[in-house]
Amino acid sequence: MSNDEGVSRIKIKFLIEALGEAEGELVRFLAPRTIDAIVRKLPMEGRAALWKEEVYFEIPLKMGEEKAKPIVEAGTIAFWPMGGALCVFYGKSQPYSPVSILGKITSNLELFQQVKSGSTIKVVLLSS
């Protein structure tokens, strides 16, 4: 691993309608092509959908799997190629189909448990 944390870790913020903010970080080496494509499109916004212990929303990105995994840990931020969606896993449930792991939520993960279907979620770069 390089010591260049600034380039390899990209801090982002989720603004969740009526609930507040959660922070996360994208770790480039996990899925560099997918993360670069997402960062170029920030800020982006979508309407939350819920599946088991996961909140996801469609984003304007069509991309195939990149080092996709069928199993994730709670707190994982991932891209779901099949649904063209950004996902946040807040519990023990697993993805419907393999996801490209992007990083993890670093603060306020519990907010995602309270997200209502259809709520607006906006993702922005966290200014350092």
What is the per-residue DSSP string for 30-89?
GSHHHHHHHHHH-SEEEE-EEETTEEEEE-S-----SS-BS---TTEEEEETTTTEEEEE
Q: Domains of the chain: which residue ranges?
A: 9-123
How far is residue 95's CA from residue 69's CA, in Å, rounded to a whole number?
9
What is the model's pTM?
0.93
Work out the average pLDDT over 59-80.
96
Q: Is the pLDDT of residue 112 over 60?
A: yes
> Top-level CATH class of 9-123?
mainly beta
Question: What pLDDT, on a 0 to 100 scale, did the predictor assign at position 116?
Answer: 97
pLDDT digits (tens, 9 = 90+) for 26-53: 999 999 999 999 999 999 999 999 999 9
To the nearest whole percent, how much of the chain has pLDDT over 90?
A: 92
Work out the average pLDDT over 110-125.
97
